[in-house]
Amino acid sequence: MEYSGGGGGATLSEMYQSARRLLLSARDGVARVERLASAPTSSSYYSAPLVGGGAPGDPAVGEEVRREVAQIQGLCAQMDRLWRSIPGKGQRDLWKRKVEQLSEEVDSLKETIDRHTLRQQKRILEAKERAELFERANGESSHVLRIFDDEAQAMQSARSSSRMLEEAYETGVAILHKYADQRDRLKSAQRKALDVLNTVGLSNSVLKLIERRHRVDKWIAYAGMIITVVVMIAFWRLTH
């Protein structure tokens, strides 16, 4: 649609009506984009690409809203030139307020679209980072599992070695106990042998004492016999 600078208010009014229709359509598109953005199950909200830096959600809707915003801004620039050429001060001030209000509304709409765009770009970046992190986690999980397996095998080997050491220790303790029992038995046998030897030694002493006493008794008997014979001989001689 062509807009000429002639005709003053009439042309400005047509441009203003066109801008208002575009503004309503753009608001409609922003509302659709916000509904798509607020739907948690909407796959287009997360996966749809941005076309020409469009709004989140349906890329066609975002592109259409941006195109309408650009058209409104262009109309506002033209109307800003036109209202300045209106001769009547009252009409000029009226159109100035209308154009300024329209510019503020379209600027607010553009800021809304830009915020949605930034949020969507941030979400896409976060989703990409999560996907990369998930891929790295999947890639590293096998390595982690291998590490766990190695550690489990090492722990199993350590437990086996500990069990073998415990068995060897128990065997050594049993052998020492056997040696201790044998030593006790040897000591007991040694004490018995010493007792036997002591008993034998005492018996020898008694036998020697008995033999000595027997010899003494024998000499006493011989002496008594000799004395008796001498006494008898002396008595016989005295009596005869």
Q: How far apart are CA 55 and CA 38, in angstroms?
A: 13
Amino acid at 22: L
CB contact at 8 A, 113 and 65: yes
Domain ranges of the chain: 9-37+57-138
Q: In the chain, where does DSSP find H-type helix?
A: 9-38, 43-47, 59-83, 89-239
**What's the pLDDT at 205?**
75
Q: Residue with structure tokens 């976060």?
A: 126
Q: Quick check: 59 and 47 in contact, CB under 8 A?
A: no
Residue 183 pLDDT greater than 70, yes or no: yes
pLDDT in tens, 87-129: 888 888 899 898 899 989 888 888 888 888 888 888 888 888 8
The answer to whether 3 and 14 have CB atoms below 8 angstroms apart is yes
Per-residue pLDDT averaged across 71-81, rounded?
88
List the CATH code of the domain at 9-37+57-138.
1.20.58
Q: What is the pTM of this model?
A: 0.42
Please state the φ and ψ torsions of residue 168, each to the nearest 5 degrees.
Answer: -65, -40
